[in-house]
Structure 1
């Protein structure tokens, strides 16, 4: 495959295979200029004229997708790969070690050579031309040339952890896809493991709108490539005289992907962190065997604070609020694999025991799944079991898993008879804290037991041979595969190889292995603290999770019509409703005794029951040097219990969805139990601003979530103290506003409704005596406007310096600070602080209406708590109605425009290519011209606001290709290399397939019978609906890198102030990749005829061609880029005590 560019008036890029070409053209969207848009057409290769020239000398092995960065659209291709695995004949797995990004709408990155940091390589003359007399001198220089926008993505995709296959569906497991089903169809791929799904989503939509024949062309020509992340590796070895190949394929899910501390536990969609599906496949000329296992983080909401040297585990959501998500996770697994056997390896250490306890509680309380029927649960304290006798004692897991192993079985296939002998009906789900080191070892043990069971059942090898069995080359290779696999999965998640890998490889732990593990632990600490943040951003960019990212849309008249009509019919699938929100703030001044907070949370009793409650507290611990440096995180539980008891004193039940604490700051998020299912995407974040950002006595804790499709963000803050420190508070605000970031790089401004609440420490800028005199003269809730005019926060907002666009209802309550502790008397101490409104709640959002804003008379601190009630408009989208409407609109368009519908009967035939490859086609008489599947018809009446970016069409424009012919579209027939299976090469008689076995039972005695595997299991198992494949990796080759209580009124309060903010950039490129091959491990130099050959003649020939091509490389010009229902009326007043 080659990538070509047509430069000039109309810039196009062509991806050309042997017989066809996929043409890309950038299209300007006048309706939304920020929406990246391009057109695509499929043509016979002969229609690609001489105006196209190659963009790289490297062969293109696959098209990964389209991405927009800095306003530029890039086409991502694979330019470097090496064959690493061949699980069965005709199925090969390639590791990606080089990718290139070619800019579609800008030529500045064409033919530009890049250095290892992603910057253009410039000559010495160019360097001096920029204003420097000599390279490296300090002088007047022009602005530095920007780096390639895709450099970090290139480094990520080229790091040796990504794989693809050009001849089978790598996202599925062997049992699911079946033997001999070498299909690349995108109809059955498992999206969960397709790491380039964001880059390919629009292209896949384009494919799905084509007729079946056109789809096959796209699939078979390799235009659409599925990329997985994980590991793949094959070894060739012997079972006695029978040569076999042993392969491990492992695939990591991208649904909750990220680095070690950035991705923990489960999300609201029931996806867990570090979820990996691993499959071991053995293939010989007689039998094929496969066994699948999975790993994944404990499916509850938990995190670890990376700011601590020993990160503490924090469970962030209550058991009741988590149960439904937990059940959803296991429902997915049971439906796919059958019964699930959980192997929990967590220890009894303080940091892990709470997770284990919650795990067991969820399993026991599940109403969806029955223990010992759908879910089996085994606890194995790995650290305790191996403390005395070393890692070999991990073999004690065997009696705990054997019964399930016998009942669930494995997949086996008779190669000669072409029939399935048995299937796996159940799965082991193993976890530790990270799902890395301990999990690697136990999965290796379980794999060994299952493999030994297969070998016994089929009389291939007897496990009663003791060391002769475990020391055989087969099991040495098996251990090496698992060790390599463990290292790769660990590299993906932590950046280092796995701990305990020395034992995995050799079966014993040497002193050098202990030193190696110590080094890896130190490396992990460094990487977690200094490198993981940037790595997470790169991963989120690849997956399209950044808040500013938009997928590159393909111009398609059908899609544009459907999108336009959906926007007009939005009311048909979108509904809105109102929810009540209660926001509170309280500086508790280190309070350590229980208090009744009913006056604060229910100021009018049970007449107003909010749907959402968010409370921010400051100084939950004493502000001393010792307590700040060694924060007491038990205060979170203390206040959770107080608030929970108060909220649940009436009939409505409230559930805690999130508690976020940072030193002395705490934010609690409760939701009515009947509204919990409307809340998704709950996250927490914090920012320290004390002592220049080093301590958490000042700063903010924040939570965000979506209710329906409306996003909310709450920021509980404690700003710098001191009446004169307005500038410091301004700096704190800026630091928090910019420093708090959630997943997908969402920040505070990226939400529909935002609340800032807390001890903001803004004072009344008047002398103390004057303020007290004014307050003494005030009657009721009528405070002198003079005081509020001198309130620093009001002044700052009105000036637009901070909290731009935020509003605050009229303040009708006395200053909340400072009181003598536990009294209603303002400060009588020697400092005699000026009474001020330090505790505030401000908001921003067109969907918010304030209902009440006041203080509460709690005498437990030197502050008074403040509360605010709001009514918020929230939207809901009914996805089913939307999908049905989309389908209806699509069919309507097809009927009205049959000639441009997705059912294209255009002929994509290359006569010269057909003749050369002797492919016979039936052509209808009278068809003199070939036409194309053309989505570039910009003259179509439905083109709307789209126009070509190029003002003048070129001679090779597609305008002459719009006629649709009746010649049927035919895919090019391809012959895949077939590896012959020769019995002559084997020095043993073939054993016939074993008879159907009887159901197994497990004896606790040490002896057990070797019987053949039965498909009729003794357990109530459910056959899995789907299954997925797995991938694995060798060492990567070179990379390229509511008269009312105070504050309540019958009408909506009028905000006293308001004020009113986005950015985008652009840049592109290809680079040369260093092609180097890292062949499959070749401990056995001979490759049997009956075994899939890992190193084929095809590879050798290609290497020779590459070598010869390398001798006379095409010129790569160095080019420097040019940078041209209860209403508020029903509320009763509070009666003072």
Structure 2
């Protein structure tokens, strides 16, 4: 049987090392992390002299934040010896890394899936390998970013079940492999912070050479996304409904700082959603104790005498696979940039080659608007598909509601790999305007034949198999890949409709529903289904845009309501504030945790605001102006006081406030909270252009040119060396 991660780990600390042991496996070797070097080794037996610190649920990983040592570090903090190139020259053997072990101190059970308990990370702790003699402001900022990120992220894990893979992929994997080796690399979210343990497992260390299989039990894969497990029933049939959304760690980020595709073929906001139904499975739910090897393969407890059936349906979502961006300028609608279709063909080929290999035929459902600013994204996507498929044949259907209801791009023959792409455009907003949301059913009608052919995964337990493997009865042969601009709101509505269609088909095939019947007739299950999918929408949206999803009133109730529209307005305003003023640090946290930025390669004071002081002060001038206008307007005036000076005072500060507000709005790129660790090219370009324009300003141009403290070029280029990491 494969080595599984330890369910219980004790941490022992001393001045020279941290030691990790499992009390339930006393004969297992101890993992030792030497302090302060961070060297790893396995020790046969317990290390004496270490004080027991705590019991933890697992090791999330290890991360190196800075390089520094002794007096050299103090000189850097005082600004001594800052000659050009000296930063790189001093990164040598006399530097000790500022490394931290991130441990999971609290995990919440979320329910059982085929007998395996799934947990959510609730709390973590950072164990320093080196006691810092003095505080480094950058180090504190790095730590604050990571702690906030982990605390707010929906992270899930299991000690005995691979939640990163769909049931269909699991049925094709070697269960003799350790859990971390079976994990899907796209959804193995702590892969970078686990790289020290994985490298040690693969090739050992300078003290212990060769592979170290005993480390497998300390490597715990964690998934970022949404997980909901509900024991329920349809009519009189008990079942377990599970919804899992897995967010890819590749090109992950926030709404406006991560769009389109990268050169490796990874698209922004890529999520794989798997809807699972388990029949006759008495081991699912929350009952029972979370430990014990007897529960791991779902063979213990709750047997109904009938074979356990698992049915799953998989969908994907992801950003339009061309080079494009939306540039924040403080305007409500960002500037849209399409940075080329033809240059992105190689990246799109890499993306769709992987998608076809993993999922089969891809039905590309595009929901962006066909008019206004979004039409450029629609046209770019269609142009990309035409580049990929062989001799594309196009067709369009229209009706009285819109000029173009559907647009279809299909290959004329089956001659190459990318002829397995099928593009379907549906003008979602135009078709459903006026609260006519029932018209979204038109898309399902258009996809009817593809969905029939697509099928779904179906497997049953093999009673004699100790590994808990399934006997596969049916495979899903294709996938629907849905997108809108953000791959959030419209996308989730359509995905929930596709999931509903598939679930009705599954329940009919196993005899729970009669032919032609739908689960809508069961009001309680209908309510549950809607709630689960609305929860999914909110989780995916919050991790990308900072708020819950829009249009969830339709997902939850089946109707578009005025209250839902008001909630959408509130979410839209919150998104505006977050995306312009709060998402920069959030993007930095993504880049830091996922390893797309390496802190040790950057200079000090990377988080410093290097804008000219006058530019920084204008928001404060605006605030003072509003305060003085408010005081002047509402302060009680003495009977014999002159009116004119007060009016002049109010008019003066009102004029100053109006000028300040206009300046900020006109030069919005100077006030967006940009990511500081991995600069975006379009942000650098826009910032420099804005600074150039300010220098020409008749009021403050000469002051900015004379007194600036260092242009944003430094702000955006000091991280260039570490902004990419090739694994």
Aligned position for 1:101: 126
Q: Please, which runs of 5 or more residues in structure 1 have no aligned partner?
A: 29-36, 110-118, 120-142, 552-624, 633-660, 664-680, 700-718, 753-876, 884-1137
Aligned position for 1:24: 32
Q: Which residue of 165, 171, 179 corresponds with 2:164?
A: 171
Tell me by how many angstroms 1:751 deviates.
Answer: 10
Give the Cα–Cα distance (whole angstroms) in 2 for the partners of residues 105 and 366 of structure 1: 53
Tell me by how many angstroms 1:16 deviates.
Answer: 4.2
Give the Cα–Cα distance (whole angstroms) in 2 for the partners of residues 144 and 269 of structure 1: 34
Aligned position for 1:64: 60
Whether 1:41 aligns to 2:38 is no
User: Is the alpha carbon distance of 1:15 and 1:351 closer, same or farther for their aligned partners in structure 2, counting shifts above 3 Å?
Assistant: farther
Aligned residues of 2:328 and 2:580 also touching (Cα < 8 A): yes
Tell me by how many angstroms 1:383 deviates.
Answer: 0.6
Whether 1:150 aligns to 2:136 is no
Whether 1:483 aligns to 2:534 is yes
Query: Across the two proteins, how many residue pairs are aligned to each other?
Result: 560
Tell me by how many angstroms 1:26 deviates.
Answer: 3.9
Q: Which has the higher helix share?
A: 2
Q: Which residue of 423, 432, 436 corresponds with 1:377?
A: 423
TM-score normalized by the length of structure 2 = 0.70
Tell me by how many angstroms 1:94 deviates.
Answer: 1.1
Give the Cα–Cα distance (whole angstroms) in 1 for the partners of residues 231 and 172 of structure 2: 20
Tell me by how many angstroms 1:81 deviates.
Answer: 1.1
Aligned position for 2:710: 734
Aligned position for 1:232: 227
More moved, 317-326 vs 331-340: 317-326
Tell me by how many angstroms 1:160 deviates.
Answer: 4.7
Give the Cα–Cα distance (whole angstroms) in 2 for the partners of residues 96 and 246 of structure 1: 22
Counterparts in 2 of 1:872-911, with a 5 A limit?
Answer: none
Aligned position for 2:215: 218
Give the Cα–Cα distance (whole angstroms) in 1 for the partners of residues 722 and 33 of structure 2: 32
Tell me by how many angstroms 1:43 deviates.
Answer: 2.7
Q: Please, which runs of 5 or more residues in structure 2 have no aligned partner?
A: 1-7, 68-97, 281-306, 393-409, 412-418, 464-469, 603-659, 671-678
Q: Which residue of 575, 584, 587 corresponds with 1:524?
A: 575
Aligned residues of 2:153 and 2:224 also touching (Cα < 8 A): no
User: Is the alpha carbon distance of 1:730 and 1:697 closer, same or farther for their aligned partners in structure 2, counting shifts above 3 Å?
Assistant: closer
Whether 1:537 aligns to 2:588 is yes
Tell me by how many angstroms 1:13 deviates.
Answer: 4.0
- Cα deviation 1:800-830 (Å, max 9, x = unaligned): xxxxxxxxxxxxxxxxxxxxxxxxxxxxxxx
Aligned position for 1:161: 154
- Cα deviation 1:430-456 (Å, max 9, x = unaligned): 000000010011000001111111122
Q: CA RMSD in A?
A: 3.9
Tell me by how many angstroms 1:168 deviates.
Answer: 1.7
Aligned residues of 2:164 and 2:184 also touching (Cα < 8 A): yes
Counterparts in 2 of 1:978-1127, with a 5 A limit?
Answer: none
What SS does the corresponding residue of 1:434 show, helix, strand or coil? coil
Give the Cα–Cα distance (whole angstroms) in 1 for the partners of residues 253 and 42 of structure 2: 36
What SS does the corresponding residue of 2:329 show, helix, strand or coil? coil
TM-score normalized by the length of structure 1 = 0.45
Aligned residues of 1:688 and 1:698 also touching (Cα < 8 A): no
Aligned residues of 2:330 and 2:580 also touching (Cα < 8 A): no
- Cα deviation 1:400-459 (Å, max 9, x = unaligned): 211111112100013367521100111110000000010011000001111111122222
Whether 1:498 aligns to 2:537 is no
What SS does the corresponding residue of 1:193 show, helix, strand or coil? coil
- Cα deviation 1:299-324 (Å, max 9, x = unaligned): 01111111142334533433321222
What SS does the corresponding residue of 1:429 show, helix, strand or coil? strand
User: Is the alpha carbon distance of 1:526 and 1:445 closer, same or farther for their aligned partners in structure 2, counting shifts above 3 Å?
Assistant: same
Whether 1:258 aligns to 2:253 is yes
Give the Cα–Cα distance (whole angstroms) in 2 for the partners of residues 721 and 145 of structure 1: 34
Give the Cα–Cα distance (whole angstroms) in 1 for the partners of residues 342 and 561 of structure 2: 47
Whether 1:79 aligns to 2:105 is yes
- Cα deviation 1:1004-1042 (Å, max 9, x = unaligned): xxxxxxxxxxxxxxxxxxxxxxxxxxxxxxxxxxxxxxx
Aligned residues of 2:259 and 2:319 also touching (Cα < 8 A): yes
Aligned residues of 2:254 and 2:583 also touching (Cα < 8 A): yes
Give the Cα–Cα distance (whole angstroms) in 2 for the partners of residues 295 and 146 of structure 1: 36
Whether 1:200 aligns to 2:191 is no
Whether 1:14 aligns to 2:20 is yes
What SS does the corresponding residue of 1:105 show, helix, strand or coil? coil
User: Is the alpha carbon distance of 1:734 and 1:157 closer, same or farther for their aligned partners in structure 2, counting shifts above 3 Å?
Assistant: same
Larger Rg: 1
- Cα deviation 1:827-883 (Å, max 9, x = unaligned): xxxxxxxxxxxxxxxxxxxxxxxxxxxxxxxxxxxxxxxxxxxxxxxxxx9x9xxx9
Tell me by how many angstroms 1:696 deviates.
Answer: 5.7
User: Is the alpha carbon distance of 1:107 and 1:696 closer, same or farther for their aligned partners in structure 2, counting shifts above 3 Å?
Assistant: closer
Whether 1:357 aligns to 2:383 is no
Aligned residues of 2:200 and 2:211 also touching (Cα < 8 A): no
Aligned residues of 1:80 and 1:96 also touching (Cα < 8 A): yes
Give the Cα–Cα distance (whole angstroms) in 1 for the partners of residues 348 and 100 of structure 2: 39
Aligned position for 1:304: 326
Counterparts in 2 of 1:956-975, with a 5 A limit?
Answer: none
Give the Cα–Cα distance (whole angstroms) in 2 for the partners of residues 362 and 350 of structure 1: 20
